[in-house]
């Protein structure tokens, strides 16, 4: 059991998920980082800020609460691509050589990186879509596609870490169907991975709520593992 709970979630082995955020009240303080960031597709309900070299991103409500730590200055949420047992991540560095700076066209932002010295490229694609439970443009479809430019087959996996920080609550609690409230480290694997979950700034009296969808609709394939942990 953690003496200090920091609401963070990691999803592994699934390349697609949906993160939907609900609008709410006040604006917290925002730690500033020395990065170059651009705003991707957004609406009056949600916005994302993307580092134009690493591809790291944050999310928040325009002019309102943050949803991922540091918004609008990305640095703590990151992704890892594993190729044949070797990890490439974009935490404070690029996956590898940047092939395409994250560019926004319509409702989609896409960046492309060469994975180290391999002949594989990773495409990070963030698309603003309609939330399944709200019917509003308040959800991002998060996708990672690995392109094989080699003549050999490779074993590839993906992990996405989202550093939740709802309305300045860095220990934001979760609620998961079939489990209930989650305030300590918890893991689900395989068929036990829930179809969706919620995260709040406060369980007793929430003013900011976010929902992530892990299976069904555009969210496919289902991640092989979900962790909520420090």
**Mind listing the pLDDT tens digit for each residue in 46-98?**
999 999 999 999 999 999 999 999 999 998 999 999 999 999 999 878 999 99
d(CA 230, CA 159) in angstroms, rounded, equals: 16
Q: What are phi and psi of 208, to 5 degrees?
A: -130, 125
Confirm whether 229 is domain-assigned.
Answer: no
Residue 30 has pLDDT above 70, yes or no: no
Q: What is the DSSP string of 39-62?
A: E-S--SS-EEEEETTT--EEEE-T
Residue 192, classed as helix, strand or coil, is helix
Number of separate domains in the chain: 1
Confirm whether 90 is domain-assigned.
Answer: yes
Task: Give me the pLDDT at residue 136, please.
Answer: 93
Nearest to 129 by CA among 41, 40, 54, 60: 41
Confirm whether 227 is domain-assigned.
Answer: no
Confirm whether 186 is domain-assigned.
Answer: yes
pLDDT in tens, 194-203: 999 999 999 9
Confirm whether 148 is domain-assigned.
Answer: yes
Which sign, positive or negative, has the C-alpha torsion 121, 158, 143, 37?
negative
Q: End-to-end CA distance of the chain, in Å?
A: 10
Range of the domain at 74: 8-215
pTM (2 d.p.)? 0.85
């Amino acid at each position: 059991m953690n003496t200090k709970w920091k609401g963070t979630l990691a999803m592994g082995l699934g390349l697609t998920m949906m993160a939907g955020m609900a609008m709410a009240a006040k604006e917290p303080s925002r730690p500033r980082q020395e990065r170059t960031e651009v705003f991707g597709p957004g609406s009056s309900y949600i916005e994302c800020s993307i580092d134009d070299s690493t591809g790291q991103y944050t999310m928040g409500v325009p002019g309102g609460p943050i949803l991922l730590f540091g918004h609008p200055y990305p640095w703590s949420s990151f992704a890892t691509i594993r190729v044949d047992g070797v990890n490439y991540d974009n935490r404070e560095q690029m996956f590898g050589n940047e092939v395409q700076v994250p560019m926004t066209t319509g409702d989609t932002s896409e960046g492309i990186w060469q994975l180290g010295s391999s002949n594989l490229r990773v495409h990070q694609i963030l698309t603003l879509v309609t939330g399944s439970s709200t019917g509003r443009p308040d959800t991002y479809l998060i996708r990672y596609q690995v392109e094989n430019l080699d003549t050999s087959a490779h074993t590839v996996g993906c992990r996405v870490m989202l550093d939740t920080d709802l309305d300045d609550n860095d220990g934001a609690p979760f609620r998961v169907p079939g489990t209930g409230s989650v305030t300590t480290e918890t893991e689900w694997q395989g068929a036990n991975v829930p179809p969706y979950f919620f995260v709040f700034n406060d369980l007793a009296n929430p003013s900011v709520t976010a929902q992530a969808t892990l299976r069904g609709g555009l969210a496919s394939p289902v991640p092989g593992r979900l962790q909520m942990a420090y």
